Amino acid sequence: MTPLRVALAGNPNVGKTSLFNELTGARHKVGNYAGVTVETRAGAVVPRLSPARPITVLDLPGTYSLTPIAEDEAVAFRCLAGAEGDPPDVVALVLDAANLARNLYLAVQLLELGRPLVVALNMMDVAAEAGMPVDPAALARALGVPVVPTVARTGEGIARLVEALGSIEHVPQAISPLRARLLADDDALPAPPGIGAARWRWLVSAAAAGTLELAGATAEERAALAAHPAADVTAAAHARVIARYREVDALLAEIGFTAAQRERAPAMSRSAAIDRVLTHRVWGLLIFVGVMATIFSSIFTWAEPLMGAIESLIGWLSEQVAAALGPGVFTDLLTQGVLAGAGNVLVFVPQIALLFLLLGVLEDSGYMARAAFLVDRLMARVGLHGRAFVPLLSGYACAIPAILGTRTITDPRDRLATILMIPFMSCSARLPIYVLFISALFPADDRVGPFTVGSLMLVGFYALSTVSALAAGAIWKRTALRGPTPPFVLELPPYRLPRLRNTLLHVYDRTADFVRQAGTVILSVTVVLWVLLSFPRPPDAPDGGRAVAEAVQVDPAAHVPEGMSQGAAAHVPEDMLQATDEDSPIIHSIGGRIGKAMEPVLQPMGQDFRMGIAILGSFAAREVMISTLGLVYGIEADDENQTPLREKLREAREPDGSRRHTPLKGLAAMIFFVYACQCMSTLAVVRRETRSWKWPLVMFATMSALAYGLAVLVYQVGRALGYT
């Protein structure tokens, strides 16, 4: 049996995605702010809801109107209008029962469109709590379509909704008085031959809004519109909007809403009192800065015990594998490649999970929209508005969904500028790199007030990335993407307590994605890098380089660096006297030779060939940098020293006994990773969203040059000032 195709439509933030998750058993992200869904998702209704026939549900982006003014609204319009394929068999319109006056305009438009319609009257609990209960039967009579009360957060009414959707085809769709009035209302500009009346109305509205491209107008349709003066087109569109709002007022009166009730937003009464503080032009900004600083400092501090436990577990596993299998290439692959490489990435899972948890709480509570409102004045100086800050904040988690989130931005130049800003935001893949260098190279116990130096450094890097993103946006908006600053209109949702189950499921899914990537992409790249770093073997060292490492201990004098007398070398602690680069077992490998070839370019930023190999690997995914360093130090130590990577970096010494990785070198490396664009998936998404290779290549080139230049500047200035 052919599945029934049902499109979930509605205003932003009315619970469509929550309803979709309940219907299909999916766990897509939900958030208490507009713009969470920016592309169409599909899923089948789960069998436990007993659908009469198979049902495929399409979750559309939220839209206030069927006249699209942004790409996400255009996605919804094209699906509902059947502009890019068959239209849905049924439209399930999700209405917010607590904000019915705002939602009914879209209902009127869908009635005009003529698709079979079922209304899911959602958030009935919120409306009842606010003292504004809605009578579903009265609304059904007024609209002339089935109305099912639901509470998507708890699953209430979902089974009845499925039943109504499954039976809609068997119920004759009588034309309600409302729809009859909408269809009979004469337009000032009648539809020309060959274009349907409903389609013509949408073309007129899109022409008046300047969004014909988003409406998918053909050349013939554009020609038909061009035959009328622009003033007449605009006047006809305005008249149609006024007629629809007149019908909305009539609907509200018919179901018993008084004039006072129509103006109320009951769910916002308590939120308005909170907003007097949280959106205050001074206190609100201070609170926002404090909230973000607390989040990033707590990530560094709270996850440390779990990190240590995972490091100990990986070290223990490596010892057990080595003892069970004995010496050999396969043992080296497992201990030096899989465990020392990909295993070191898993050490940072606690930070990743904590980041997603804290950001998820902000999103679900409704605070994310307030953050956009607070920074609107700052964004205006960049040339953008506060709506662009929502995808920027999402970039702290991952750049890819953040770039997709720019579809809510109406102006193409503003959207492109925001896309080019997002990769500067420190995503979750950069977090393990920051934590690795900070915890390995900087004092763990030093404090500034209640905060550790490490946590303040982490906050500083996130602040640096945010300021850099804003600076990049300002440059683009004043040069290649110059344009006026758009007005800012944003819906502030009511504050809600996050649902613990949904938040934890979101954290689990995102963390599982990170672990899955560590077990697939990162593991695969790590194994390839292990081969490149292990072969060919060093001369006269068929045992994998152990003879070279032992030679340093047997005859330290043979490894006194050039320019140092043996007498001076005698005062260097024996455990700090290291092999030279030429003695490293990886220097003869393919990867080692590539790293040595890169070293002259890396030395100005304080990095050696080992870091060069790690940087090269990180262009596949930033997390590979950690697994690559684990590989390098695991192979050089021949896996005899099962110490965590952080300790290996801290204890690594040059031939003269000085630290190989100093705080200054670590700072330069972190500066490089703040700015370098090293995510191939991000570049691919930018290519898809901009429909050109120009902008991803420009982004990659400019960010790479900036990363290298600033890393060199930091290291050279630090050396000149005498810092180590």
Q: Cite the annotated binding site by residue number.
A: 10-17, 21, 24-25, 35-39, 59-62, 122-125
DSSP 8-state class, residue 49? G
Tokens matching residue 584: 């490293």
CB atoms under 10 Å from CB of 69, counted, come to: 18
The whole-angstrom separation of Cα 253 and Cα 259 is 8
Omega into 536 within 30° of 0, i.e. cis?
yes
Asked if 580 contacts 561 with a C-beta cutoff of 8 angstroms, the reply is yes
The whole-angstrom separation of Cα 704 and Cα 672 is 8
Residue 598, CA atoms < 13 Å, CB-side half-sphere:
21
Q: Which helix (H) or strand (E) holds 232?
A: helix 230-254
The whole-angstrom separation of Cα 274 and Cα 495 is 9
Tell me how far apart the terminal alpha carbons of the chain are, to the nearest angstrom. 72
- Binding residue numbers for GTP: 10-17, 35-39, 59-62, 122-125
Asked if 4 contacts 166 with a C-beta cutoff of 8 angstroms, the reply is yes
Cβ neighbors of 632 (< 8 A, separation 6 or more) are 533, 586, 610, 613, 614
Name the residue with tokens 């007129």.
204
Sign of CA dihedral 106, 107, 109, 115: positive
The whole-angstrom separation of Cα 527 and Cα 632 is 12
Name the residue with tokens 């939602």.
103
Cβ neighbors of 568 (< 8 A, separation 6 or more) are none
Asked if 218 contacts 226 with a C-beta cutoff of 8 angstroms, the reply is no
The whole-angstrom separation of Cα 689 and Cα 501 is 33
Tokens matching residue 574: 């024996």
Tokens matching residue 115: 């698709």
Q: Which residues pair with 706 in a beta bridge?
A: none
Say what angle helices 283-302 and 304-325 make with each other, to 10 degrees. 30
Residue 170, CA atoms < 13 Å, CB-side half-sphere:
7
How deeply is 260 buried, as exposed, middle or buried, from its count of CB atoms within 10 A (0-12, 13-18, 19+)? exposed
Q: What is the CA radius of gyration of the chain?
A: 30
The whole-angstrom separation of Cα 641 and Cα 546 is 12
Tokens matching residue 705: 């040059």
3-state helix, strand, coil in the chain (%, to 5): 65, 5, 30
3-class DSSP assignment, residue 564: coil
Q: Which residues pair with 41 in a beta bridge?
A: 59
Closest Cα partner for 400 from 429, 379, 371? 429
Name the residue with tokens 């020609």.
223
- Binding residue numbers for Mg(2+): 21, 24-25
Asked if 38 contacts 72 with a C-beta cutoff of 8 angstroms, the reply is yes
